[in-house]
Structure 1
Amino acid sequence: MSEIYRLATVEDIERLVYVTYEAYVTIRELDLKWPAAHADHDLIENNILKNECYVLEVDGEIKATVTLNKGNEIKFITDLPFIMWFAVDPAAQATGIGSKLLTWVEETIIRDKLGASAVTLATAEKHPWLLPMYERKGYERIKAFDSEKGDGTMHLLRKIVNPSGFEIYLQEKEIEKESEQEH
């Protein structure tokens, strides 16, 4: 079995539309307003071009995808790297393929390439299994909020990928906070 971790390209759009749309069936059933749940050619192309969309290809076929958000729209929630649009081909779910890709992005991209000490993501409280799944993968809830899109309570979760770096991050945040209070 050959496994290739890589950035998605526009040549991957059709396969990513299939994987993402099929993986998000529960999201549509719950009527959550997540763009990935309605993945089409234009949404996927925009995601590939504006963000870092990673895939895990197994024996020449994309089986899982996750996106590192490169925009500023989540800066009001966190300044840590934010991942989104995690999807696994339904035929490959519960095989560990998704966990392999997520771990690879957390370690190789977030920790090693970006030098970040932690990664964040958000999910809905009303989804029946996403919160416990991410918690099993080492994510912890750090903030509950209402996105005011009709999704109800959302949770921002964080996973520390470099503990010593995270201590430095927290110290820097404390210094920033003190500096802001002085001004």
Structure 2
Amino acid sequence: MTFHQATNKDIQALLDLSLRGYATIRELGINFAAATADEQLVDKNINENICFYMKDGDEMVATASIRMPWSSHHGPYEIPHIWWVAVAPEYKRKGYASKLLDFIENDYLKDTLHCPSVSLGTAKEHPWLADMYVKRGYEKVGESDLGKGHVTIYLEKLLLAKTYKKR
């Protein structure tokens, strides 16, 4: 498995992976931007955020992005915010999302950028995502109705205990 930072040459492949990976989200009626993305939104994500993807051999199998506190579409707190996590349907339940999140949380955010913590959000109405993130070490820190037809639960994970400053 290899990890890559996306560039404009990856737009079409990321769009395809995202739309296929978010099919169940659309079926649940949850309005995540990535679930109905188009080329313009993928381009914006790549150029305004830090977008990674994972390959197994030659196949792009998963993607996730990080919105930074200074970006135009930052997270709710002054820390990096993970979003747009998607796995190609034929590769689900094989641990690819966990491997990609491990890379982002540990190798990139903790070891490279020395970030003390990271946040992410998910729909309260989703039947298992919040629980999955809690099992990964995230703690629920808030929720908000952003007017998208669902309540967003915000979660945070401590990455560097000795540099962490409680809000």
The verdict on a shared fold, with TM-score over 0.5 as the criterion, is yes
TM-score (norm 1): 0.84
SS of structure 1 residue aligned to 2:31: coil
CA RMSD between the two structures: 1.4
- For residues 44-83 of structure 1, what are the structure 2 equivalents within 5 Å? 44-70=42-68, 71-74=71-74, 77-83=76-82
Unmatched segments (≥5 aa) in structure 1: 174-183
Larger radius of gyration: 1
Q: Deviations over 1:81-139 (max 9, x none)?
A: 10100001111111111111101000111112221111100001101111111111111
Are residue 16 (structure 1) and residue 14 (structure 2) matched?
A: yes
**Once the two structures are aligned, what percentage of the paired residues are identical?**
33
- For residues 121-140 of structure 1, what are the structure 2 equivalents within 5 Å? 121-140=120-139
TM-score (norm 2): 0.92
Number of equivalenced pairs = 165
Unmatched segments (≥5 aa) in structure 2: none
| Alignment correspondent of 1:106 | 105
Q: 1 CA distance for matches of 2:144 and 2:38?
A: 28
Question: Following TM superposition, by how much is the alpha carbon of 1:74 offset from its aligned partner in structure 2, in angstroms?
Answer: 3.5
| Alignment correspondent of 1:147 | 146
CA contact (8 A) 2:116 2:161 kept: yes
Select which of 40, 59, 68 maps to 1:42.
Answer: 40
CA contact (8 A) 2:116 2:160 kept: yes
Q: Flag the 1:7–1:101 CA change in 2: closer, same or farther, 3 A.
A: same
Question: Following TM superposition, by how much is the alpha carbon of 1:72 offset from its aligned partner in structure 2, in angstroms?
Answer: 4.1
CA contact (8 A) 2:122 2:130 kept: yes
154-163 vs 66-75, which deviates more?
66-75
Q: 1 CA distance for matches of 2:64 and 2:146?
A: 21
Q: Flag the 1:47–1:74 CA change in 2: closer, same or farther, 3 A.
A: closer
Q: 1 CA distance for matches of 2:95 and 2:28?
A: 25
Question: Following TM superposition, by how much is the alpha carbon of 1:66 offset from its aligned partner in structure 2, in angstroms?
Answer: 0.4
Question: Following TM superposition, by how much is the alpha carbon of 1:140 offset from its aligned partner in structure 2, in angstroms?
Answer: 1.1
Are residue 7 (structure 1) and residue 25 (structure 2) matched?
A: no
Are residue 115 (structure 1) and residue 114 (structure 2) matched?
A: yes
Q: Flag the 1:14–1:72 CA change in 2: closer, same or farther, 3 A.
A: closer
Q: 2 CA distance for matches of 1:80 and 1:119?
A: 6
